[in-house]
Amino acid sequence: MKKRYLIVLLLVLSFASVFIGVKDISPFDFFSLDKEQIEVLMISRLPRLISIIVAGVSLSISGLIMQQLSRNKFVSPTTAGTMDSARFGILVSMLLFTSASPLQKTVVAFVFALLGTFLFMKILDKIKFKDAIFIPLVGLMFGNIISSLTTFFAYKYDLIQNMSSWLQGDFSIIIKGRYELLYIGIPLVIVAYLFANKFTVAGMGEDFAINLGLSYRRVVNTGLVIVALVSTVVILTVGMIPFLGLIIPNIVTIYQGDHLKNSLSHTALLGACFVLFCDILGRVLIYPYEIPIGMTVGVIGSGVFIYLLMRRKAYE
């Protein structure tokens, strides 16, 4: 799929996203909007569009980085315990810092997400049987252990309702003043692009990278920091969006190849288009009600994931 087609698709979906909602705003009324319609656009629709694009781009690129560094096509923030570790960090911040600001919660959740990701990578180093399916299964079990701990302490301290809100991704809560934290993802995407060639070399193995004069550990740590921070800000702002960082890089790799720098822009564009499509679908299926983005992405993403598993011999 050529990049210009993805750009056109993104523009079309973005245009549709702005004008779909309970409040009727027509493209034909764009130059004669009343005060209420302008407020809906500026406070709700445009912030929602920006957050969808930033979340789709940053999570897809995070998945691509994780797959490159782990050398496994089925590893992502969802299947490596990163998202679950971030949720555990949010719970800890709610317990220890009851009046914590969003930035303080981000710092605590980021530390836990980073520690969880590092721990998964350490487990990965110890595994001798590195089958394409076995490794993400280990990651899912690791994530479920952390998730179970989070649920246990949430029940114990009567915070289960608060924590359940972080489990389901939902863009309907996005309004002006509640999404700006996602802007952190923009410089992280730029850093990922600057380090793209180094991530590609690091993905070939530690010995190979060191022989080429690359500081392997520093590059890997940079990649894991990007993944952890992106996962944290998305969870804090939107909630969990499953499978996104898993399926988008795989789809792009099928037709674009494994060189990270060549596939980075395609991954970003396809990720944004996919999340936009799922968000629009969730808004129109049971209109005027809305299906959360976590559910629509989860259903479609799980179907694509099963397809990739069935075709792994051809694509791995």
Residues 63-93 have pLDDT tens digits of 888 888 877 777 788 778 888 888 888 888 8
| Whole-number pLDDT of residue 213 | 76
The residue written with tokens 């999340």 in the block is: 275
Q: What are the angstrom distances between the C-alpha of 270 and each of 26, 170, 202, 249, 273?
A: 27, 20, 24, 9, 5
Confidence of residue 315 (pLDDT cuts 50, 70, 90): very low
Burial 5-44 (b: 16+ CB within 10 A, else e): ebeebbeebbeebbeebeeebeeeeeeeeeeebeebbeeb
Q: What is the pLDDT of residues 202-217, one digit of tens each?
A: 777 777 777 777 777 7
What is the per-residue pLDDT across 287-313, written as a single tens digit (0 to 9) for each? 878 888 888 888 898 888 888 777 655
pLDDT of 165: 64
Length of the chain: 316
Phi, psi of 173 (to 5 degrees): -85, -5
Which range (32-36, 88-92, 148-152) has the least confidence?
Answer: 32-36
- What Å distances lie between residue 253 and 7, 18, 123, 131, 216, CA to CA? 18, 31, 26, 19, 23
Domain ranges of the chain: 3-315
pLDDT of residue 187: 86
Residue 314, pLDDT above cutoff 60: no
- Cα end-to-end span (Å), the chain: 20
Long-range contacts of 258-262 (CB under 8 A, 24+ apart): 258/68, 258/200, 258/203, 259/200, 260/64, 260/65, 260/68, 260/196, 260/197, 260/199, 260/200, 260/203, 261/193, 261/196, 261/197, 261/200
Q: 8-12, 176-180, 303-307: lowest mean pLDDT where?
A: 176-180
> Which residues lie below 8 Å from residue 242, measured CB to CB, with a gap of 6+?
78, 169, 294, 297, 298, 301, 302
Q: Is the pTM of this model over 0.85?
A: no
pLDDT at 277: 92
**Residue 227 pLDDT > 70, yes or no?**
yes
| CA gap 309, 311 in Å, rounded | 5
Count the neighbouring beta carbons within 10 Å of the beta carbon of residue 128: 4
- CATH architecture for segment(s) 3-315: Orthogonal Bundle (1.10)
pLDDT exceeding 90 applies to what percent of the chain? 3
pLDDT for 273? 92
